[in-house]
Amino acid sequence: MKNKTKTKIHKTSDPNWDTHTYGGTPSKKVFDVEWLKYYNQVEGRDQILFLYTSKDTGEIVKYRFLR
């Protein structure tokens, strides 16, 4: 019987940037995640912004808003 891994691999066009999610050790993670909570005056509510930074360079690679 084949064991299922807790990590899923998401293929990208550049194989050096394949990302892993759902488990694994922190050393296997490609990104460091930071989050900011701020009040959005236009929508009238708090929003959370997730920043994904590269572990190698520390630059912001991508971001997303939690709505």
Q: Is 25 exposed, middle or buried (0-12, 13-18, 19+ CB in 10 A)?
A: exposed
Q: Is 3 exposed, middle or buried (0-12, 13-18, 19+ CB in 10 A)?
A: exposed
pLDDT at 16 over 70: no
Confidence label for 39 from pLDDT (cuts 50, 70 and 90): very high
| CB atoms closer than 10 angstroms to residue 19 | 14
**Mean pLDDT within 34-63:** 90
Task: Kindly report whether the global pTM for this prediction surpasses the value 0.75.
Answer: no
* Domain ranges, ordered by start, for the chain: 8-66
Total residue length of the chain: 67
